[in-house]
Structure 1
């Protein structure tokens, strides 16, 4: 059978392939945009047209087999039979046009852009499910994906990295912590030594002086002294560290008191008793210089307020026999080598003493031994214990 020829030139194979790829890409884009393909109509797909088998001897059909197909039909598929050979004059294979089914696009041939990733789509195309027996597509469903395990930002794994021993150790940091700890301990020591310890020992010295006064009152009642003849009694010279009197200064407080012992050694007298007597100077009430020494800080700081004395303030020495009252006169600051303040007449050499003087010596400034502060007082009177405490012990005002 001869085919009708309209005189047009049939398209080449390459052109047909390009048209097929364009149709397939358009179908894929429509499927992705809709996310769910439309339900196909119940109209069955059209039967593919089969080309007429040319008759034997028809040169018009055998020379140009492409003319027996329409130019718009896609590339025909070749159906090869498995039965006995076809009779002479019948082609061995019949060219059949594939059925047009836009729902199941034919796989396109790879291009250079696809092979080298130059024209990759944003998302991979999803396969379109086939309709069931009733012609309906299955309902879409979502598949839950397992959550990825939490990972560490530093190691990229889900496991917590265990610190190695001494990791992050710094010698400079450790040294800084040692210095900081040492500074805190030093500060605590100074607070304890200069404030708390002094407060505790100051109270102990006040209590010790009050106990001595009570004991001496009791002894005086049990053993009355001879009548006072107006002359100050002579006090026996004490040995180093022996308590023989107490110092009372109303300017330093109503309850102020400090035991007074022989000698000025730091270990035996000044650190324990409070006030020490220079053994090579005179005793209370005698003509000459009754010189004493005491701490201005630490160990109760009995002379801490010596710079606060005012002219005429009472400086009282209490003994078992009674009270020796001195009146403050003046002060001066001297270097530690100025030992002439201990002379019978302070700061004078080879001068005979006619008056009884009291000299209080301590370090200056506070917490330093750079120099000495010297406070002088003149003897005023003696009050026997039988007469009771003198008025010079009354609290001062201002």
Structure 2
């Protein structure tokens, strides 16, 4: 005989009970797995974010600190060598002189031979030896072409975009101040554009032999896709006196 109690038991064990089974142990385990997965993914994303933040801090801050320290030591060695007797202007990797660009920064930038990463990463500017060899300032004519980092590793050309026509660019060697004046900028060109380094840089509008200087660096900032170019032409030279009195352009 089927009693009322038996009917109730049958109802609670039928389809309705199956539909309400989400409160059982298996369902709770499923929700626990989902929650654990979401938590793991969230923690992983946070960890990745922290690693990326540390990498950016290392690339844009700590490499500057390390490069400035190394460049400072190298600069001290160059100036010490200048106090010794010997030739004043040498084409060596130790450093040919110091670049002064008031529009970018008040601090002088040591200039070395070469533009390889291990050179520029030391917080200096380097003059090109290839694909087109730079003419050194004391040569009869030509283009003294330089490169430096715009961000990280000293970021010596970080503010190149602040330069404008008429701004002075001064190279200090042991015996001579070379005073250039900016006459043309090219905000963006291909990183493969070697014409900007030519001894007569026609892309700047130059048409004759003279003593030019070319500054090159990466653009846009924090990328290396293109190159930012600034050209200048020698205006005059001054002999270095016993006090190393800078030219008027640096006495601001």
Give TM-score scaled by structure 2 length.
Answer: 0.73
Deviations along 1:6-32, whole A, 9 cap, x unmatched?
Answer: xxxxxxxxxxxxxxxxxxxxxxxxxxx
CA distance in 2, matches of 1:183, 1:277: 38
Q: Is the 8 A contact 2:67 2:123 kept in 1?
A: no
2:150 is matched with which residue: 284, 293, 296?
Answer: 296
**Once superposed, what is the RMSD of the aligned Cα atoms?**
2.8
Cα 1:197–1:236, aligned 2, differ >3 Å: closer, same or farther?
A: closer
Cα 1:314–1:384, aligned 2, differ >3 Å: closer, same or farther?
A: same
CA distance in 1, matches of 2:170, 2:73: 17
Deviations along 1:327-347, whole A, 9 cap, x unmatched?
Answer: 122210211121101111113
CA distance in 2, matches of 1:395, 1:252: 15
Note if 1:205 corresponds to 2:205: no
Task: Please list, as runs of the form range in 1=range in 2, the aligned pairs for 1:279-294 lying within 5 A after superposition.
Answer: 279=129, 280-286=133-139, 287-294=141-148
The structure with the largest helix share of the pair is 2
Partner residue of 2:40?
174
Partner residue of 1:185?
51
Task: Please list, as runs of the form range in 1=range in 2, the aligned pairs for 1:58-207 lying within 5 A after superposition.
Answer: 170-199=36-65, 201-202=67-68, 205=71
Per-residue deviation, 1:271: 1.0
Give TM-score scaled by structure 1 length.
Answer: 0.48
Partner residue of 1:315?
169
CA distance in 2, matches of 1:263, 1:353: 26
Partner residue of 2:114?
263
Q: Is the 8 A contact 1:289 1:345 kept in 2?
A: yes
Q: Is the 8 A contact 2:182 2:232 kept in 1?
A: yes
Q: Is the 8 A contact 2:169 2:232 kept in 1?
A: yes
- Judge which range, 295-304 or 168-177, deviates more: 168-177
Note if 1:248 corresponds to 2:100: yes
Partner residue of 2:190?
335
CA distance in 1, matches of 2:226, 2:248: 31
Cα 1:207–1:253, aligned 2, differ >3 Å: closer, same or farther?
A: farther
Deviations along 1:220-247, whole A, 9 cap, x unmatched?
Answer: xxx498xxxxxxx8x4433xx4422221
Cα 1:359–1:392, aligned 2, differ >3 Å: closer, same or farther?
A: farther
SS of the equivalent of 1:386 reads: coil
Partner residue of 2:8?
none
Q: Which runs of 5+ in 1 are unaligned?
A: 1-166, 226-232
Cα 1:224–1:200, aligned 2, differ >3 Å: closer, same or farther?
A: closer
Q: Which of structures 1 and 2 has the bigger CA Rg?
A: 1
Q: Is the 8 A contact 2:238 2:247 kept in 1?
A: no
Partner residue of 1:347?
202
Q: Which has the higher contact order (CA 8 A, sep 6+)?
A: 2
After the TM superposition, list the runs of 4 or more consecutive aligned residues in structure 1 that deviate by more than 6 angstroms.
none
The structure with the largest strand share of the pair is 2
Deviations along 1:312-339, whole A, 9 cap, x unmatched?
Answer: 2221112222221111222102111211
Q: Is the 8 A contact 2:70 2:122 kept in 1?
A: no
Cα 1:273–1:369, aligned 2, differ >3 Å: closer, same or farther?
A: closer
Q: Is the 8 A contact 2:171 2:178 kept in 1?
A: yes
SS of the equivalent of 2:182 reads: strand
CA distance in 1, matches of 2:83, 2:192: 44
1:360 is matched with which residue: 215, 218, 233?
Answer: 215
2:232 is matched with which residue: 377, 393, 397?
Answer: 377
